[in-house]
Amino acid sequence: MPDKKRKKDLTFAQKLYLPEIFKGLALTFKSMLKPSVTMEYPEVKFVPPAAYRGRPVLVEEKDGTERCVACGLCSRVCPALAIEVQPEETELEKERYPKLFEINMIRCIFCGFCEEVCPEEAIVMSKDYELVFTSREDAIYGKDKLLVPVDQLKDRLEFLRNFK
Amino acid sequence: MSILEIIIITFVKILFIITAMLLTVSYSVYFERRISAWIQTRLGPNRVGWEGILQPFADVFKLLLKEDIVPEKSNKPLHTLAPFIALFVAFSTYAVIPMGPEVTIFGYKVNLVVADVNIGILYVLALTSLGVYGITFAGWSSGSKYSLLGGVRASAQMISYEVSMGFSIAGVVMMASSLSPVAIVNSQYGWMWNAIVQPIGFITFVISAFAETNRLPFDLPEAEPELVGGYHTEYSSMKFASFFLAEYANMIIASAMIVTLYLGGWQVPYIDKLGLGETLTTLIQVGAFFAKIGALIFFFIWVRWSIPRFRYDQLMNIGWKVMFPLSLLNVVWVAVVLMIFN
């Protein structure tokens, strides 16, 4: 290694050791004056960028219906078998809708395959990373928790159109 | 003054010192955590009270409430005795360090030092050497290999650095021609601080003080990556806290010693020429003493979070091959200075 210095390669000042120590002290003193990088969590929350894969959510259209057509691809592709979809017929133009849509958040591994495979852009990864539950039953998210208005997901949908 | 009055005054002084020591020790722990955080661009403890100002009390209560585990294979009497030795030595050293000049309070002439012993410096040296026993006993009595290694390291390190420390002090004693800390402070009038007159002695003393207090870069007795926790691996609860407090108390004593011996103690250069009142002058002088100690404590903490630990052979090399000759050189230097100016 050419950049490794042996003792005889050191200059006199480096051998004296103290000047180098004062250099180090000056460095730490400088970093002491820098602003802190810590976020004080409950008060200040980290807002992730659009590329962040938080918990998967279903897109809720402006008229209050889900975009999902219950094709079951997400359930099929899910490597952790976390998604369960039960389809049913509907009078709407899309003809099918999920009667039951459940994601087991204990199983979910946040891989984003469901979002990738979805032909309707109906299931997307959100920025929500605060997932707390006190029992196994609470961890199974039904449609009530999964449906999120499309306005709140604009960031992610735009990201998907640009990069998917 | 009658005997009773002297006893009462001494008790008040002792009470004041103990309280001040305990508070400064716990707050130096707090500042250690805050300053280390700032150096690493973090925030540090800031939740308990305003800006975490009550954190030391939370820490102490936590340690008091924890279970005290004594290892089965330990030597139990010594295992219990060791933290007491460490703490006792750390606190009793402070008795001879002068905090200010002679003052008159309520008609009594009071020296701002618990005991104006005429061999005070020897007393401090003797007690700090005793401090090794606390650590070595702790290491040996725990019945654990890591503790033993830590204890052995501590004793070897402290003996090596005591030599250069003693010789550095010899220079100071020669300047003041007295072993009394009060006389040493008085001899550093104006800008005649020993740090300026004998810079080599100052540097060797400061470095030896770092080694004596087991602070980084010389904290080999507790070197976490190698020895788990060193001599206090097998300690928990308040016994561990005693070692912790003793370490910080030692740091404060080392700062106080550096201030007394080299930085002019409570002296503020040319303050008597400003024509301030006597009370104000005394207050400024006592304040200056504590400010100097505070600055040195900051320096101790700052160095700890800047410099990595020495390897053991490097430590011994520096101790015997660098510090020892340098401190001898300092003695010669002081002798020459005295020859020329007297």
What average pLDDT does range B187-196 have in this prediction? 77
Q: Where are the domains of chain B?
A: 71-341
Q: Nearest C-alpha of chain B: how many angstroms from A21?
A: 7
- B128 Cβ partners below 8 Å, 6+ apart? B89, B93, B162, B212, B250, B253
Check residue B322 and report its DSSP letter: I
Category of B203 on φ-ψ map: left (φ > 0), alpha (ψ -120 to 50) or beta: alpha
Are residues B234 and B142 in contact, defined by beta-carbon separation less than 8 angstroms?
yes
H helices present in chain A, as ranges: 12-16, 18-33, 73-77, 113-117, 143-146, 154-163
pLDDT tens per residue across span B212-254: 888 878 887 777 777 777 777 888 888 888 888 888 888 888 8
Q: Nearest C-alpha of chain A: how many angstroms from B326?
A: 12
With CA atoms as reference, report the closest residue to B22 among B246, B239, B210, B235: B246
Cα–Cα distance, B229 to B97 (Å, whole number): 31
- Would you state the pLDDT for residue A77? 92
The phi, psi pair for A119, rounded to 5°, reads: -75, -15
pLDDT tens per residue across span B135-191: 888 888 888 888 888 888 888 888 888 888 888 888 888 888 888 877 888 787 777
pTM: 0.81
- Among positive and negative, which fits the CA dihedral B264, B269, B272, B274? negative
Category of A36 on φ-ψ map: left (φ > 0), alpha (ψ -120 to 50) or beta: beta
* Residue B39 touches partner A, C-beta closer than 8 Å: yes
**Among chain B residues, CA nearest to A21:** B307
CATH of domain A56-163: 3.30.70.3270
pLDDT tens per residue across span B68-107: 888 888 888 888 888 888 888 888 888 877 776 776 767 6
- Would you state the pLDDT for residue B240? 85
Contact check, Cβ <8 Å, A25/B42:
no
Contact check, Cβ <8 Å, B41/A40:
no
Secondary structure element (H or E) that encloses residue B169, with its range: helix B145-176
**Among chain B residues, CA nearest to A32:** B39
- Would you state the pLDDT for residue A86? 92
- Would you state the pLDDT for residue A2? 59
Contact check, Cβ <8 Å, A34/B41:
yes
Cα–Cα distance, A3 to A20 (Å, whole number): 18
